[in-house]
């Protein structure tokens, strides 16, 4: 059994980690921290976990995370980088669901996240955890950075086209929608029911924190710098990411076959039949990305539709995937979950 610690177990990604790990055949939840709710039973805060998680939240100062084999950080940006060095020195593997180790360039990270990085020397070691790209690196990693939910959907959609050199990489467009749970479990006006319900809006058009992360990932796949217009939107739903991606084709190919062959053998990426339109509800609660590729009117524009559950494949589920890979377990362990419907 793998001894597991979770830092920040009171948010949406934290409770999703608890849900998944409670069903995992090789997971032993050892400690779950919360500074504000230390002493509170997990099942008291989250009744859905009754009879599944019989732990109380521990204060971070007395949690003894060094006794764990792996620690997940389901915390706001800037927390994991304060503790990662000490945990790694103690021989603990670290998986960060926030953004502390996603960008390789320190100056870029500090620009987009508005703070000094506490351990910039670890950025070179951190493995960007997109298993469909970096599976072999994850196997040997001590420190894994979980991609953001938007970047997961966008990169999985674009990567086959870029690897095949089929599209103009200077003019990529990602038009992406998210449910309100992507903003986290906190009280903010824009996520109130009366504000978010029956409403739809774009935000961060001038620049979103996930933009440099997506550009970094796609540029590494391409081998040269890509140009990307990234526009996120907030939708009146709780879970889900829907990415509509546009590229200009530079040569002829069978797009459907390209995607099917590229993701053949990937358990958590489902390429739908030609002409399909994936829905966010088709992945709700599951660690799955569903993709469809289109070529409207047979023109030179390719449209890729990519959907994930932002809390699972976009966060906690993908993080459990890394743990499985890092500890030599079947990648599907604890993650063979049928999506919820309705």
Residues belonging to the active site:
149
Nearest to 241 by CA among 282, 204, 294, 296: 282
Q: Residue 267, CB half-sphere, CA atoms under 13 Å: how many? A: 14
**Helices 317-326, 12-22: crossing angle, 10 deg rounding:** 50
DSSP structure string for 101-170: TT-S-HHHHHHHH-S--S-GGGTTTPEE--HHHHHHHHHT-SEEEPPPHHHHHHHHHHHHHHHTT-B-TT
Beta pairing class for 93-96 and 201-202: unpaired
* Token output for 24: 């995992």
Q: 219, 106 in Cβ contact below 8 A?
A: no
- For tokens 């070529």, name the residue: 295
The C-alpha atoms of residue 168 and residue 153 are separated, in whole angstroms, by 19
């Amino acid at each position: 059994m793998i001894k597991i610690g979770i830092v920040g177990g009171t948010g949406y990604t934290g409770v999703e980690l608890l849900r998944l790990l409670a069903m995992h055949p090789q997971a032993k939840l050892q400690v779950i921290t919360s500074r504000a709710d230390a002493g509170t039973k997990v099942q008291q805060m989250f009744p859905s976990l009754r009879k599944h998680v019989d732990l109380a939240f521990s204060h971070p100062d007395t949690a003894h995370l060094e006794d764990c084999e792996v620690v997940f950080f389901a915390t706001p940006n800037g927390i994991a980088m304060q503790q990662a060095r000490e945990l790694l020195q103690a021989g603990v593997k670290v998986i960060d669901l926030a953004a502390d180790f996603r960008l390789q360039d320190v100056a870029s990270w500090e620009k987009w996240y508005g703070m000094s990085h506490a351990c910039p020397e670890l950025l070179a070691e951190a493995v960007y955890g997109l298993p469909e790209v970096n599976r072999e690196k994850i196997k040997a990693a001590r420190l894994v950075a979980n991609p953001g939910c938007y970047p997961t959907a966008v990169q999985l959609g674009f990567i086959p086209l870029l690897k095949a050199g089929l599209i103009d990489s200077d003019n990529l467009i990602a038009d992406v929608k998210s449910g309100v749970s992507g903003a986290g479990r906190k009280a903010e006006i824009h996520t109130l029911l009366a504000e978010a319900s029956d409403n739809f809006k774009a935000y961060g058009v001038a620049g979103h924190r996930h933009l440099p992360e997506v550009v970094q990932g796609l540029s590494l796949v391409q081998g040269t710098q890509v140009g990307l217009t990234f526009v996120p939107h907030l939708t009146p739903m709780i879970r889900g990411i829907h990415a509509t991606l546009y590229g200009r084709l530079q040569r002829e190919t069978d797009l459907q076959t390209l995607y099917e062959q590229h993701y053949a053998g990937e358990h958590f990426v489902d390429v739908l039949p030609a002409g399909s339109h994936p829905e966010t509800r088709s992945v709700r609660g599951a660690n799955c990305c569903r993709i469809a590729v289109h070529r409207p009117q047979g023109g030179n524009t390719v449209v890729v539709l990519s959907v994930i559950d932002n809390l699972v494949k976009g966060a906690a589920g993908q993080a459990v995937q890394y743990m499985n890979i890092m500890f030599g377990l079947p990648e599907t362990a604890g993650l063979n979950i049928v999506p919820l419907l309705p």
